[in-house]
């Protein structure tokens, strides 16, 4: 299964963004989202920002991911 994770853009240099990925700093390429700017939320997959989304949608996605994690605790041990 492939998953895109919401992240917030902290800084941009050309097409290279520094992102906040659930509290961790990472890098993403923004060539697929040229409209993205500092402060925007993006979905990141395989190191690429693939779409811009609003903060409400990002937070809803985090909530769904937490629910999925809680539902699978102990199932793979």
Residue 31 lies in a domain: yes
Spatial CA neighbour of 19 closest among 59, 45, 11: 11
Distance CA 43, CA 77 (A): 30
Return the residue matching tokens 């699978």: 72
Structural domain including 61 reads 5-72
Higher pLDDT, 41 or 70: 41
Q: What is the pLDDT of residue 72?
A: 81
The count of structural domains within the chain is: 1
Residue 77 lies in a domain: no
CATH code where residue 60 lies: 2.30.30.140
β-pair partners for 41 = 8, 53
Q: What is the pLDDT of residues 9-65, one digit of tens each?
A: 999 999 999 999 889 999 999 999 999 999 999 999 999 999 999 999 999 988 998
């Amino acid at each position: 299964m492939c998953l895109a994770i919401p992240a917030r853009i902290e800084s941009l240099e050309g097409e290279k963004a520094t992102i906040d990925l659930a509290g961790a700093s990472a890098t993403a390429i923004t060539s697929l989202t040229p409209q993205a700017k500092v402060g925007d939320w993006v979905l990141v997959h395989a190191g690429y920002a693939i779409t811009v989304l609003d903060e409400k949608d990002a937070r809803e996605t985090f909530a769904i991911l937490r629910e999925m994690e809680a539902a699978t605790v102990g199932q793979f041990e």
